[in-house]
Amino acid sequence: MSSSDTNIAASIPQEFARPSVVRDNDSNAEVAIQFEHVTKTYKLFKSDRARFLATFLKKVPFKRVNANDDLSFTIKRGEAVAFLGNNGAGKSTALKIITGVSYPTQGRVTVHGRVSALLELSAGFDPQLSGRENIAFRGQLWGLSNQEIKELEPDIIEFAELGDYIDQPMRTYSSGMKARLGFAFASSIKPDILVVDEALSVGDRRFSKKCLKRVHEIMSDSHVTVLFVTHSSASAKEFCKRGIVLEHGKDIYEGDIKSAIEFYEKRNS
């Protein structure tokens, strides 16, 4: 462990030294998301061979990188918050932890409510299944009942505009068709927490406008908590009321969206 890692560990209260994740569907909790002294550490090896050898040998050299570094913030139910930061600031890592794709190395994470992410829209589909079958498959993974899936299916199919292709294997779909189905599903399951990437250009310009309209409709529900990830000030102003600025995995500023944008732009001028 490097001296900087030692200093970080020393600054973290003992109760957060070991990772802890609390995740439930309590959509009535006042706090939707809370990070408490969260650190996510990755080991970088010189090659795949070195990474493989490290499974068996302790002395294989590597570089330790903290993608999130003693990160703490609280997001209340119904807030629309922008995460501002350059590439490598730690935004994506925080989102992966929130959505359950990744887990912290240290600290405590609390997430109350069903999370839907408009991020890697075409990921996670089974290419051998049809679009319709993938809707059912994803619904089951989300813990939806057969009745809920049946009720959601028509809206998802209509929004995706796949026509007869909905009953064809997804290996025959273009990347755009997969993204449209991914967006239609993720935006139709009535999330308590919506995670939105700024890259909402799904399909042609007409369909992109349709996607933006859907996001605005979801956000109009004051009970839905929205996390918007961007390094575009204009997009942040359009969607959010509060901003959190990340840099090198740390939360370096929080405030209303106007002051957060001013801080971010000054930082990068």
Per domain, the residue ranges of the chain are 3-114+227-267
Lowest mean pLDDT among 56-70, 185-199, 253-267: 185-199
Whether pLDDT at 202 is above 70: no
pLDDT tens, position by position, 38-57: 999 999 999 999 999 988 98
pLDDT at position 125 is 85
Exposure string over 32-70, b if 16+ CB within 10 A, otherwise e: bbbbbbbbbbeeeeeeeeeeeeeeeeeebeeeeebbbbb
Closest CA to 41 of 82, 69, 83: 69
Confidence tier at 1 by pLDDT (50, 70, 90): very low
- In 198-241, at which residue ranges do the beta strands (DSSP E only) sit? 225-230
Q: What is the pLDDT of residues 90-124, one digit of tens each?
A: 998 998 899 888 999 999 999 999 888 777 666 67
CA distances (Å), 37 to each of 11, 34, 100, 148, in order? 9, 10, 17, 37
- The 3-state DSSP class for residue 125 equals coil
pLDDT of residue 103: 93
**Sign of the torsion formed by the C-alpha atoms of 83, 31, 257 and 204:** positive
Rounded to the nearest 10 degrees, the angle between the axes of helix 131-141 and helix 146-160 is 130
Which residue shows structure tokens 């109009």? 220
Average pLDDT, the chain: 86
Token pair recorded at residue 222: 């004051």
Report the Cα 76 to chain-centroid distance in Å.
17
> What CATH number is given for 3-114+227-267 in this structure?
3.40.50.300
User: Which one is predicted more confidently, 182 or 204?
Assistant: 182
Q: Could you tell me which residue, 11 or 101, shows the higher pLDDT?
A: 101
**CA 19, CA 10: separation in Å to the nearest integer?**
15
User: Which pLDDT tens digit goes with each residue over 214-267?
Assistant: 888 887 776 889 898 876 777 788 888 999 999 999 999 999 999 999 999 998
Count CB atoms within 10 A of the CB of residue 192: 22
